[in-house]
Amino acid sequence: MIGIGTSLLFDRRAGKAGPPILPFNKAMVDAWFMSGLSNADKPGSITGVMGNEMALKNFAFTSESGFGKGVYEGALVFDGVDDYGICTGLPILDDYTLICKREWIDLSRKSNAAIANKRKVNQTLGGAFNFERLTISQILTLSFGNYTNIQLSSSDVVYQTKTSYNGDKVISSGSLTDTDSLFLGCSGNGIEFANCAIYYFALYNKSLTSEEIETEKERLNEEWLKRSKVTIPEPDVYYDLSLKDNSSPTRNIIDDLSGNGHDAEIFNAAYTESSGYRSDGAFVFDSIDDYAIMQNVTKGFKTLFMEVIPSLTIDKSGFLYDQRVGQTSFGISISLNHIAYNAYNWGGVTYINGKLNTTMNGREVYLKHQIITIVNGTDLKPQKVVLGGDIGLDGYFSNMALYKLIGFYDELTPLQIEKVINDYKLKHD
């Protein structure tokens, strides 16, 4: 274990170091969080942080129509049949920002369903917004009566202002007057229902700047996780590659900050920006012969996080990490023509940036700063654990930039995965 000690690491996780957590922006109208609630309680409403009640209509309070489990843990799941939420008596807005953590479950149900709608009860046209509305032929978003065609963001945290969808799509604002009611999970009036999962929804009375939005997203996620009351175990291995550079006396050792003695020894690095420590806090493996071997390994990890750029070279397929024993457990490879990182993950699941990946293939992940999470419950005792290559060191070396690696002997749940990403400040594009 290195000289900075684990106390700094865990103090930072606990919020005892670094910048203080800021309060919500003063422009907030309200925010509703779905974590920490139970189907057993069958609540009739959810109280926002500003005291506004979101009434829950027609929920069966099951995992398919109520508070989710598994991949939708910490969310309110809308069944796409008749579930919705409604809050009345809200301010009439002439400007706004909404921020929502959501997942669309079934996009095939295109019946004018929407994630959220600021619309008066029994009003035909929308007020301030009709957010992410699915139709038979297109996906729309509305701002004060004007619709704009959009492509749904792949991110689970999305936002809209009066004139922008998720920061990269200019939308046209119309001239309709806002109303006092907010619907979640439908387009309003108890019709046109969305099959979706909503984790939190926040509303503001002005267009926030991009910097303000990023601050709010961080604070909202912190609050959502806090309300979930989820805990995580201490890591069984933890690497932070920003703590050394190419001139460090022990540059060939990646120190295990967990205190469990799983240091990794680096082989064949030239200790340059293209084969060694880089100025942005990563260690670069050159895809030629660089690799590292983890020490004192007696069993494989069941949950592994890598903050990484998986390849700095287009169409280069190599192993980022390998703990396979025969055909069991996992090795992390881009795998050009397979689901990204899942080709050698027998019986496990893969998350990218905290989101379960079932569609993105290996050719879509190059050059992107991302968080890879592998969950695999296979018990095994690997002969070795290799970073930057395969266990046989047979030439399947990767050209990756590795920032952080965290491993657990336990299988973590989706909420625990979110908390690790949050607490350890793992970053992605």
pLDDT tens for each residue of 208-255:
999 999 999 999 999 999 999 999 999 999 999 999 999 999 999 999
**The pLDDT value given to residue 110:** 66
Domain that holds residue 219: 28-228
The answer to whether residue 23 sits within a structural domain is: no
Q: What is the DSSP string of 179-221?
A: -S-EEESEEETTEEE-EEEEEEEEEESS---HHHHHHHHHHHH
Mean pLDDT calculated for residue range 308-324: 91
The pTM score is 0.86
Instruction: State the chain's mean pLDDT as an integer.
Output: 90
Tell whether 224 and 249 lie within a shared domain. no
The answer to whether residue 150 sits within a structural domain is: yes
Structural domain count of the chain: 2
Tell whether 219 and 254 lie within a shared domain. no
Residues 6+ away with beta carbon under 8 Å from 120: 127, 179, 180, 181
Tell whether 335 and 208 lie within a shared domain. no
120 pLDDT more than 90: no
pLDDT tens for each residue of 48-76:
999 999 999 999 999 999 999 988 999 99
Tell whether 248 and 212 lie within a shared domain. no
Tell whether 163 and 268 lie within a shared domain. no
278: domain CATH number is: 2.60.120
> End of a domain among 194, 228, 262?
228
Helix, strand, or coil here: 420? helix
Place of tokens 């109280």: 47
Rg, Å, the chain Cα set: 23
In the chain, % of residues over pLDDT 90: 75
Tell whether 146 and 59 lie within a shared domain. yes
Tell whether 114 and 188 lie within a shared domain. yes
Rounded CA separation 211/115 (Å): 24
The answer to whether residue 12 sits within a structural domain is: no
pLDDT tens for each residue of 323-365:
999 888 999 998 878 889 998 998 899 999 999 998 888 889 9
135 pLDDT more than 90: no
Tell whether 223 and 251 lie within a shared domain. no
**The pLDDT value given to residue 2:** 36
Tell whether 325 and 206 lie within a shared domain. no
The answer to whether residue 413 sits within a structural domain is: yes
Tell whether 142 and 106 lie within a shared domain. yes
78 pLDDT more than 70: yes
Rounded CA separation 77/336 (Å): 34
Q: Which two tokens stand for residue 291?
A: 């690799």
Rounded CA separation 38/43 (Å): 8
> End of a domain among 205, 228, 251?
228
The answer to whether residue 310 sits within a structural domain is: yes
**The pLDDT value given to residue 124:** 54
Mean pLDDT calculated for residue range 370-384: 94
The answer to whether residue 188 sits within a structural domain is: yes
Tell whether 96 and 201 lie within a shared domain. yes
Mean pLDDT calculated for residue range 274-292: 97
The answer to whether residue 1 sits within a structural domain is: no
Q: Is the dihedral of CA 209, 215, 219, 222 positive or negative?
A: positive
Tell whether 264 and 412 lie within a shared domain. yes
219: domain CATH number is: 2.60.120.200
Q: Which two tokens stand for residue 384?
A: 């070795």
Rounded CA separation 385/297 (Å): 7
> End of a domain among 168, 197, 228?
228
**126 pLDDT tier (thresholds 50, 70, 90):** low
